[in-house]
Chains A and B, each alone.
Chain A
Amino acid sequence: MHLSGLACHQLGFARPGRKPVIDMLQARFAPGQATLISAPTGTGKSTLLHLLGGLLRPTSGEVWADGQAVSRWPAPHRDRWRRQVGMVFQHLNLVPDLSVMDNVLLPCIPTASSYTALIHRAGALLKQLDLPAAGREPLQTLSGGERQRVAIVRALITRPRFLLMDEPTSFQDDDGTANLLILLAEAAADDACVVVCSHDVRLRDETRIFGQKLCLHPSSLEPDP
């Protein structure tokens, strides 16, 4: 398979001793477009995103990224590939005793050569998401919605090739959702491969940003009716 973007080939995942969460899934997510995946709770949306992002390894099948079976790569190669992935988690996974800026710059610490440019970019993103002065604030002083926006900035700071988001608007109001959609459009225009998992009606009703809307079933991704 030599297709750009992300692809799943007979993808399966099961915890030991339990029935598969995902089984024999085939799907493709092209670069330069945003895909929305919706499904009832417990269907495995987060698991799918984790598999696509290389956070979990499938128990069967493969995940392909830009024509390479990255899920079967040894850890050193897979870790380096994962630097191209920006991820927003459903539970945010921000480090509570660090400041906002520290959380945002976390992905860059091992590889950064110039912090000035990164801080500048982080400031611009925070401003775009209505958090202009939050840089030095401890994370604990922010509300749930603000923390979610910090998580989004953390995912975008490295200009990822693959942007994966799990319920990114669960704590956002309409303005926040609108700002996020602008960022998604910019990322897609940058030829990133964007995949969003959400059952937010505002996103399902959005027609301009998402080139593909799918519904997740255990063994398939069907177009969302």
Chain B
Amino acid sequence: MKKLIIRKLKLGGFLLMLGTVFISCEKNPITLVLHSPIYPSGSQAVTYTAERVTDGSITTAKLYETVNTINSSGTITSTGTETLLKTWNNPSGDLSFTKSGGHGENKLVNYRWAITTPEQTKTFRVTYATRPYPVTDMPAPVYAQGDPDDVFDLVFIPDTDITSLTTFYNHCRGMIRESFFDEPHTQFWRRQYNFYINTQRGHATDYDRRHIDGPHQLPSNNANLSFAEGRALLHQNNLRDWASGGVFSSEMQNRGTVMHEAGHGLYGLADEYGGGTHWEADDFPNNWSTLAGAQAAANDYGNCKDASDATEMGSSGWYHLCGSDCQMVTTGLTHTEYDCPCKSRITYVIFDNAAN
């Protein structure tokens, strides 16, 4: 059935249209639900927020919570009962509720927001673990929404150079809120991501010192992280970051680097600068091996692109349509946005991942 749906979507050609500028529109208010701290200890209070990032009225909002106990094998040994934490009627601004006293250790907490607007009811379900996480050699889910086989999974791995894990945890939350939930296209698809924090550390090396320091030292449970499409080795020291085989390094504050690398690891996007890695994907590429190919593809993006946007990336012999500010051109502290060809590719893989 799922395959039939995706085939129909492809046949109808409307995946092409998804890359247009209208894609990021959704009914107001757009709400982002998060919790803080993102990976609390068993005794820490947790604040749940529903942040209203666009105007729009909310009729009612309800926040529920279920607390489960998990053992070292990853099995739920005690399933909690869903409890209503708070109801809001015609609230203004952002919604917030603090659950004091903590949830205890070895817990997987699930919370559910039911937000009713004049047009619809939106439901958001999120699961997170408390510290310490007991499951042997597995990363702790800190913001899990969907079946890992249907959504994109990203594991944050702390580097041994990080002196404050609290700072690291805050940056992991920042990666979710200030990167994936901020860039317009990934914000639109925000329910299609799971985020994890690895319980074991790795150590990133500098790209220019690999002949001395060797490759990245991966955490001892690296094989167990293979289910994830992205593995981000986040560090404190300034390095020339690099990636190989699905693991990439980044300074823990660099939202732009993580979004660029997510472009490679999660969505299969190629680089959009001359010296990078280039290939033409079979479906919805963002690199073309010929100028004519890029020019012809320009028609697929409505008013967003035309043939004159097709240019060679440096002297690479590869062509692209995205502008110079596209996320696949840039890295660094702040993220930019994915341009239309990248958006189309992201939409395609999100569909394909959920459908297959």
A interacts with B: no
